[in-house]
Structure 1
Amino acid sequence: MLRRLCITLSVAILCQLHTSLIAEARQPDKFPANPLEVTTPDPLLPTQQLTLPEMQRLQRDLDELHQEGRAKLQAGDQEGAFAIWNREARLRRYFGDLAELEALSRFGAIAWSRNDGEQVRYITQRLQTIEKQAQKQETVDLELMRSLAQAYQQVRSPRMALQVYQQILNVVQEKQDAAGILQTLKTMGELHLSWFDYPQAAATYEKLLNLTATQSDRTSELTYLQQLAYIYQQDKQLKSAVDVLTRLVEIYQQENQLSQIPQLKLTIGSNYELLAQENPSLLREAFNHYQQAYTIAMRSRQYTRAAEALQKSIPLYRAQGQIEAALQTSQILIETQEKAVNYYGMMQAYDQMGQLYLERREYPQALTAFQRGLELAQQLQHEETYFTQQIEKASQ
């Protein structure tokens, strides 16, 4: 009886195993084979070594394949187009890694733009295979590695691209190739920045800036400082931004390019104003830079910039209870806006002045300011109702 039970259980287990194997065999692969890794012989590629005329003919055939893929894509057959381009990329391999990488890079950009995640994965896997093969070589093929990094960029794999660029950087540094180092760092900096990796971008542009110190390249120095200022502003590293912007101001002063300075001074002032939220003693620095921005802007007839500097100063005076200073600055602002032919700005300045007079309960002066604001509002056909209401308020 026990023996019969064992036999029955064994048969049941075998049957269940057989059924599960059949079911598994019938299921499609979770990850289908990469079409770029297919090794099935292609009719366009004979088994023997091709002669030069045959290679030229194959090149023409591949160009025709590429155009056929483009035609299918334009006709709306994306699957058919990608199948053709997978085949084209496999055949380009016959002409070397560079030819294949060029095809993969072109194809990868299209696959990514078409949001085809599966095809992007196929291409990325093939790029990784090429990279592993390249790393086995005794010497680094810089042209190949640069092409590989660019292909990674096309399929939006910045981490992999940067890893390749780092390998390139190591090689050019060993060779003391100054031009190669510069170009590689610039590419890496742009790539970090395009993916909003501000800390890495800042570190890279700091390296570039250090290189210019030994080359006396003022143009590049300005470019890298401008990039660093933008990066630090975006990353909310205000103290670092102030330091970089101050260096820019010093250079423009040395070069007597005063027209570049007011906007920089305005940005520095705004940064100090934000930093003063934690350290109130820095508010004086904000005032100073706004005043300097105004003075230099007026000297270079940048009346819009000058008005902006005044506009930024008034709330600071008001917040510290210096209403008289705020009123005087408002009057200067009106005159500056008039020089800038900014009637909307004049209207706002009169409103600001009226509010300051209301704060001091000097109603006749407030009334006069609002009436002048209304005259401008009527000319502009804007905010007329608002100024009428303010006049009524001051009259009461």
Structure 2
Amino acid sequence: MLRRTFVRAGGLAIGTALAGSLWQDAARAISPQGDSPYGPLGTPDANGLALPDGFTGRVVARTGNRVGGMLWHPAPDGGACFPDGDGWIYVSNSEIPLHGGASAIKFGSDGTIRGAYRILSDTTLNCAGGRTPWNTWLSCEETSRGRVFECDPYGVRTALPRLAMGRFKHEAAACDPVRQVVYMTEDERDGCFYRFRPNRWGSLTSGRLEVLCVDSDSDTGPVIWKRVSDPAAVREMTRYQVDEAGHFQGGEGCYYADGVCFFTTKVDNRVWGYDAERQRLEVVYDADAPLKGVDNLTGTPGGDLYVAEDGDNMEINLITPDRTVAPFLRLDGHLKSEITGPAFSPDGSRLYFSSQRGVLGDPAGTDGFTYEVAGPFRR
């Protein structure tokens, strides 16, 4: 398994962050179920949220209802938070065809909603994406020749497509400021894991698209990266252009921190970890319980991963630095939906996420809910 950074350096600190904490013991590919550091889940509240003691939840937006002066979009999906003076902004994608895009909600320092607005319109199936270090939002289209749009969460600048990042069924993106690359997942049953190397860090208008390649006899271990010659996929889909490319069963969420890029694959229900320093790929989680239907994910500076479920019993599960896996929250009454867009406020005190199809379970996402959970999160 991924080994701790402190093991590399010759020491071991159990409390070290998971992100970048490269776990010990390669034989233990299945993370054990255990007790959550927050304790058991309580009785569901009026909104159907079952939370540990000390945490509270609320609905901040619902599809078709007004929030901050605008109607909240259908099928809320990937999301991220951005600092905004003494408050913050939560950005959320809309995974519907033709009229997708993304919206933003502004919060004050006490969590009061100060306004809301669109930051991207008239794109298609905007699923997940990722935040950049220069505080823009990458909104990704989940269609066969989907694009990445770079959006301004503050609503000042016009969103623009970043075509050099490839035309494929984009899912999520995560930036690595040390190696100055953007990692990307592809939601195909034989999708690939990519990285984009911009010609200038901070500008995504041009650069080199590469695909991760693995040994044909193993899906873990050392990897290399090879260039995708036709990112626009005019002649051939990007995932077929490099013979040695590794293929993954339905790429979903993507999260980078401290030298490791974690990503999920939904068909085989795995969480992966790419050690960018050693250029090695490992499996972090490979089990059917308690976490099933792996999808979007995020993390904390203290090293906890929060992995959202697509379906199953609608939980966000916690993977701790000691590799314990346990539910952090459950959303009752939304069993035909999926949990999307988990993201922490800049101070780490609040977690945002959505139920894409809500109580009604409408595939068109006409009953989407967006939530906030506040409490004593480990940081």
Query: What TM-score bracket applies, with the shorter chain setting the length?
Result: under 0.3
TM-score scaled by structure 2?
0.20
Higher relative contact order (CA 8 A, sep 6+): 2
TM-score scaled by structure 1?
0.19
More strand by share: 2
Q: Rg bigger for which structure?
A: 1
